[in-house]
């Protein structure tokens, strides 16, 4: 009996639930109102684009040419700096020690060169002259010994009775003459050697030796200069007058050599006049004229707006990238980048902030001139200034000069 009652009740409940679900899904929900009313175009015919604010010098990512530990940081966020002013320094103790060693080598080379220039010293000549005299005395002694040996040999050879001469004595006398002759030759060679040393000393250092000594000094000096240059490169200085936009360095951290555009050590830009880098869809690029009037408004508050001045068109059309959060970025379309400028106090805006730009243009198709018209093929796509944050898409390096 329970089954005959329960099953019909369950069927009726399921039917009621299905009818309610169908009615609920068929209802049209009203659209949510926008967070902020979009700004209106002041021109009868215009092209809309999404722009990002950057410094007039373009955002300069300052890196370090040498890797090392950061010793001191001299600037703060938002600080105004002058060109050549120190931003931060790397640890220089190792290079300082090497510089001391190189300076010692240079001092040694300079001392050798000075010694070569002052040669000979006055006290170096008398010993060599004494050597010459001693060698000459040995020549005279050897000559006397040779003369005596010859006389002794002549006496034996003049004896007519050969039976009175012992052959061994005659041989010994002849050998003594030969030995004496060798002694004279050796003594004369000693005189020549001593005289040559004396002449060399009196002539001074050979010109080729002086050039070698000078080259050693130059080499040691260049090595000292190289270390001094590396020490100077450890002090990272501001390339231009501007404002510190980012400072991602702290004492004790290790800084890699090179420039990390996604997370630069220090980012600097001239913010006296701000620029807007605006992306114009390639389909609308033909409508744009150089020098056209334009107006920029902040995202989220269209009432905060200002007229902007045309600066230039970057003639290379670049891919427009859309960050989807995936491992790769999808390239949807290409855009023409147009640069506008406005004074810093014209509206409260900051470098890296997104703005909507409406540019007076030739009449075109019936496409709505709205900030999203340049991005119909992508959910969100914004221009990227040089060295912008990684959450913003970046144009290829060839689109503008690298900093």
330 is a domain residue? yes
Residue 140 sits in the same domain as residue 70? no
Residue 164 sits in the same domain as residue 239? no
**Percentage of residues in the chain having pLDDT higher than 90:** 41
Residue 198 sits in the same domain as residue 240? no
36 is a domain residue? no
Q: Per residue in 223-248, pLDDT tens?
A: 999 999 999 999 999 999 999 999 99
Contact 46, 360 (CB under 8 A): yes
Residue 221 sits in the same domain as residue 244? no
Residue 39: the pLDDT is: 73
Residue 338 sits in the same domain as residue 363? yes
381 is a domain residue? yes
CA distance 134 to 127: 10
Which residue range is the domain that position 162 belongs to? 102-225
355 is a domain residue? yes
Residue 368 sits in the same domain as residue 335? yes
Q: Per residue in 311-366, pLDDT tens?
A: 999 999 988 864 434 444 445 688 999 999 999 889 889 999 999 999 998 886 54
Residue 221 sits in the same domain as residue 174? yes
Residue 290 sits in the same domain as residue 249? no
25 is a domain residue? no
Residue 172: the pLDDT is: 81
Residue 111 sits in the same domain as residue 220? yes
- The tokens for 235 are 């002090």
32 is a domain residue? no
User: Rounded to 5 degrees, what are φ and ψ at 311?
Assistant: -110, -55
Q: What is the CATH number of the domain that holds 50?
A: 2.40.30.170
Number of domains in the chain: 3
Q: Is 317 exposed, middle or buried (0-12, 13-18, 19+ CB in 10 A)?
A: middle
CA distance 104 to 106: 5
Low-confidence ranges of the chain (pLDDT < 70): 1-3, 31, 34-38, 162-165, 260-261, 321-332, 364-403
356 is a domain residue? yes
31 is a domain residue? no
Q: What is the CATH number of the domain that holds 73?
A: 2.40.50.100
CA distance 39 to 304: 9
Residue 377 sits in the same domain as residue 304? yes
Full-model pTM:
0.62
Residue 283 sits in the same domain as residue 383? yes
Residue 218 sits in the same domain as residue 106? yes
Residue 367: the pLDDT is: 46
């Amino acid at each position: 009996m329970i089954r005959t009652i329960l099953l019909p009740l369950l069927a009726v409940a399921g039917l009621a639930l299905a009818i309610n679900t169908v009615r609920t899904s068929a209802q049209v929900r009203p659209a949510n109102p926008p967070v902020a009313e979009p700004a209106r175009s002041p021109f009868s015919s215009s092209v809309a684009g999404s722009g990002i604010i950057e410094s007039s010098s373009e955002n300069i990512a300052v890196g370090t040419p040498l890797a090392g530990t950061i010793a001191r940081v001299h600037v703060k966020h938002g600080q105004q700096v002058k060109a050549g002013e120190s931003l931060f320094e790397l640890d220089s103790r190792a290079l300082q020690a090497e510089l001391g060693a190189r300076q010692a080598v240079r001092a040694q080379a300079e001392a050798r060169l000075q010694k070569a220039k002052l040669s000979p010293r006055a006290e170096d000549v008398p010993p060599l002259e004494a050597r010459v005299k001693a060698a000459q005395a040995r020549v005279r002694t050897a000559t006397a010994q040779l003369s005596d040996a010859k006389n002794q040999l002549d006496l034996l050879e003049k004896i007519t009775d050969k039976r009175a001469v012992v052959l061994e004595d005659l041989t010994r006398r002849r050998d003594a003459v030969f030995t004496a002759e060798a002694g004279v030759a050796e003594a004369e060679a000693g005189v020549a050697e001593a005289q040559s040393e004396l002449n060399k000393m009196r002539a001074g250092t050979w010109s080729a030796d002086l050039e070698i000594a000078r080259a050693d000094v130059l080499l040691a000096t260049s090595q000292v200069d190289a270390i001094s240059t590396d020490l100077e490169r450890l002090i990272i200085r501001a390339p231009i007058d501007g404002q510190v936009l980012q400072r991602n360095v702290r004492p004790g951290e290790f800084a890699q050599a090179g420039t990390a555009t996604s997370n630069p050590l220090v980012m600097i830009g001239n913010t006296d006049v701000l620029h807007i880098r605006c992306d114009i869809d390639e389909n609308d690029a033909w409508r744009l004229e150089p020098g056209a009037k334009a107006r920029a408004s902040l995202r989220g508050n269209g009432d905060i707006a200002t007229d902007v001045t045309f600066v230039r068109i970057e003639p290379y059309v670049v891919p427009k990238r859309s960050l989807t959060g995936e491992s790769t970025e999808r390239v949807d379309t290409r855009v023409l980048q147009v640069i506008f400028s406005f004074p810093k106090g014209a509206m409260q805006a900051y470098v890296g902030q997104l703005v909507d730009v409406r540019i007076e243009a030739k009449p075109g198709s019936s496409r709505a001139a709205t900030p999203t018209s340049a991005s119909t093929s992508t959910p969100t796509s914004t221009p990227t200034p040089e060295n912008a944050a990684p959450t913003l898409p970046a144009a290829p390096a060839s689109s503008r000069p690298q900093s």
